[in-house]
Amino acid sequence: MLNFKEKVVELISNQVESLDKGEIASLIEIPPSYDMGDYAFPAFRLSKIFRKAPNLIAEELVEKFGENECFEKIENAGPYVNFFINKSKLVEVVMEEIKNQGGSYGSSNIGDGKTVIVEYSSPNIAKPFHIGHIRTTVIGNALYKIYKFLGFNTIAINHLGDYGTQFGMLISAYKKWGDKEVIEKDPINELLKLYVRFNSEAEENEELRDESRYWFKELEDGNEEALKLWEWIREISLKEFNKVYDMLNIKFDSYAGESFYSDKMPRVIEELKEKNLMKESEGAYLVDLEDYDMPPALIMKSDGSTLYTTRDIAAAIYRKETYDFYKNIYVVASQQNLHFKQWIKVVELMGYQWAKDCIHIPFGMVSLEDGTLSTRKGRVVFLEDVLNKAIESTLNIIEERNPNLQNKEEVAKQVGIGAVIFQELFNQRIKDYVFSWERTLSFEGETGPYVQYTHARANSLLEKGSFSIEDRVDYNLIKSEDEINIARLLYDFPQVVLNAMEKNEPYFITRQIVEIAKAFNKFYNSSQIIVDDIEVKKARLMLTYGTKEVIRIGLGLLGIEAPNKM
């Protein structure tokens, strides 16, 4: 697609030999409002080179540029050269691109097939899949889709928490109080009960802790009874998790969780020893990180059992050897910042250059309006229940607004779940936020239903106006300020997708499609789209089509569906 900013760089570069294109590009600014132009070039830097006042340089540059089909006006305001994009050119360029790219507008092959691993979701088995897990799950899924859209070879990994001392706890608890039948009826709740009971009894009775450590060690050493119980717990947990993944339409390429690395641990330990990185401390082994202002990384306990950190180191090495990743991304809560800094440092100290390609993408906490969540006390809100409630409430809203809609259930699912995802991806990921039902499900304001509704409205206009993509359109007829605003936002979309990838921030896309929806509704409310003048109608419908397509593509990248009717 024609890049107007590059055109600006080119024009300047033709006149100013002493700056290279990169330097020029970095000097270009976006003026605070469109009546000052779309791009501005400040001439201060040139004043030393030309030994002239910047105002004068700006004036001379304008004269030298002359006429240009990409810009309707180039003028100087003091030391700035302001460039005004040729609007009908802009509209033509963006609309033709959307038309020709057929559903992949904004995509590119900038990734060149390089492998990017996105690890996300990664819940702990036998524990509830609660509202706290939604963030990693939907942020990760969006990043996965964004990288894929940009031509990377993407691999989605669910690093299940299916190993560790808590399984020692569960095995002991099950052996004491467990009942297979009861558990199979309602696995997660019943396992949670066992876990909570074990924890509270262990507070009085230290021996229980020893017992659970014993059983975890047995599990690591391959005790058959322990292994069988563990496998069963893993299986029934995954079944529960998959219900949620199905609702969210999420699939993983690999479920290699922590247990997958149990036989890859000895190698890590050997290697750390060989490289003189391990230190013994009261029978346990650790890597000292004092030089890097961090507490030591614990590698092995005195009973020989390994730890979370060890498994992450083993996993990273395995992934490098298996996938030869270009980037290995971990979408994990900011509470684990230190953990990631520690183990990535250890990998670096082991001499692996690629440690720098392991990237932790942290995010803030979600809480509910009535307080936060805690698994230990058993006070949790299941994600599945949240999604079901969203679907149910949406169905009620549809019954009120549009009782004759076909496939109401299906649409309620797309809108209800979409609303929850949208809300999750609306803010910068590092921000904590409070989950609000009212905000999530509203059809007004900056919400998922609002954007989806705009998409459906655009769709029905296209149907009503018998739009055909083959129609030849006179783009000069798209010229009102409201229309140009839409075109600009559509034009910016590919750059927004790139920025979302570079900063690993899906919310850039969320915000852009909200802006597109708002701009479109402003236009829709102030002008008629299906008018008698056939040429004008065709042009306005083409803009409507572009709006619909870009909203649909944007929602898709976030993992949200775009129903045609709602």
Q: What residues act catalytically?
A: 127, 130, 133
* CB of residue 123 to ligand ARG, shortest distance in Å: 6
Stretch that binds ligand ARG, among 66-74, 117-125, 166-174, 554-562 (CB under 6 A): 117-125
Using an 8 Å Cβ cutoff, are 289 and 297 in contact? Answer: yes
Q: List all residues 6 or more positions away from 148 whose beta carbon is below 8 Å from its beta carbon.
A: 154
Tell me the backbone φ, ψ of residue 363, rounded to 5 degrees. -145, 160
Q: What are the structure tokens assigned to 98, written together?
A: 């959307």
| Nearer residue to ligand ARG within complex by CB, 119 or 190 | 119
Contacting residue, 76, 82, 107, 122, with ligand ARG by CB under 6 A: 122
* CB of residue 168 to ligand ARG, shortest distance in Å: 16
Rg (CA), the chain: 29
Position 115 contacts ligand ARG (CB under 6 A):
no
How is the beta sheet containing 284-287 ordered, strand by strand?
A: 278-281, 284-287, 297-300
d(CA 559, CA 554) in angstroms, rounded, equals 9
Using an 8 Å Cβ cutoff, are 277 and 356 in contact? Answer: no
* CB of residue 262 to ligand ARG, shortest distance in Å: 15
Contacting residue, 54, 140, 161, 546, with ligand ARG by CB under 6 A: 161
The residue type of 295 is: P
Contacting residue, 87, 148, 159, 319, with ligand ARG by CB under 6 A: 159
Position 494 contacts ligand ARG (CB under 6 A):
no
| Nearer residue to ligand ARG within complex by CB, 107 or 310 | 310
Position 483 contacts ligand ARG (CB under 6 A):
no
* CB of residue 257 to ligand ARG, shortest distance in Å: 8
Position 312 contacts ligand ARG (CB under 6 A):
yes
| Nearer residue to ligand ARG within complex by CB, 65 or 260 | 260
The secondary element (H helix, E strand) that includes residue 544 is helix 534-558
Query: Residue with structure tokens 């002493």?
Result: 18
Q: List all residues 6 or more positions away from 192 whose beta carbon is below 8 Å from its beta carbon.
A: 126, 127, 128, 375, 378, 380
* CB of residue 182 to ligand ARG, shortest distance in Å: 25
| Nearer residue to ligand ARG within complex by CB, 161 or 449 | 161
d(CA 212, CA 169) in angstroms, rounded, equals 5
d(CA 59, CA 358) in angstroms, rounded, equals 49
* CB of residue 140 to ligand ARG, shortest distance in Å: 10
| Nearer residue to ligand ARG within complex by CB, 4 or 343 | 343
* CB of residue 150 to ligand ARG, shortest distance in Å: 24
Stretch that binds ligand ARG, among 17-25, 88-96, 121-129, 318-326 (CB under 6 A): 121-129
The secondary element (H helix, E strand) that includes residue 169 is helix 165-177
Stretch that binds ligand ARG, among 122-130, 350-358, 409-417, 521-529 (CB under 6 A): 122-130
Report DSSP letters for 194-263, one per residue: HHHHHHHHHHH-HHHHHHHHHHHHHHHTT-HHHHHHHHHHHHHHHHHHHHHHHHHT---SB---GGGGGG
Say whether 400 sits in a helix, a strand or coil: helix
Sign of the dihedral through C-alpha 236, 167, 383, 452? negative
d(CA 441, CA 558) in angstroms, rounded, equals 17
Contacting residue, 123, 140, 168, 554, with ligand ARG by CB under 6 A: 123
Using an 8 Å Cβ cutoff, are 107 and 151 in contact? Answer: yes
| Nearer residue to ligand ARG within complex by CB, 332 or 519 | 332
Say whether 452 sits in a helix, a strand or coil: helix
| Nearer residue to ligand ARG within complex by CB, 174 or 241 | 241
Q: List all residues 6 or more positions away from 421 whose beta carbon is below 8 Å from its beta carbon.
A: 138, 248, 448, 558, 559, 560
3-state secondary structure 110-158: CCCCCEEEEECCCCECCCCCEHHHHHHHHHHHHHHHHHHHCCCEEEEEC
Print the binding letters for residues 542-561 with ligand ARG: x by CB under 6 A, - otherwise: --------------------
Stretch that binds ligand ARG, among 115-123, 382-390, 493-501, 548-556 (CB under 6 A): 115-123
* CB of residue 530 to ligand ARG, shortest distance in Å: 52
Contacting residue, 124, 165, 237, 485, with ligand ARG by CB under 6 A: 124
Using an 8 Å Cβ cutoff, are 533 and 540 in contact? Answer: no
Beta bridge partners of residue 161, listed in sequence order? 124
* CB of residue 218 to ligand ARG, shortest distance in Å: 22
User: Shortest Cβ contact with ligand ARG: which residue?
Assistant: 161
Sign of the dihedral through C-alpha 333, 337, 342, 347? positive
Stretch that binds ligand ARG, among 55-63, 119-127, 385-393, 469-477 (CB under 6 A): 119-127
Position 332 contacts ligand ARG (CB under 6 A):
yes
| Nearer residue to ligand ARG within complex by CB, 24 or 383 | 383
| Nearer residue to ligand ARG within complex by CB, 196 or 359 | 359
Residues that contact ligand ARG, how many (by CB under 6 A): 9
The residue type of 377 is: K
Chain residues binding ligand ARG by CB under 6 A are 119, 122-124, 159, 161, 312, 330, 332
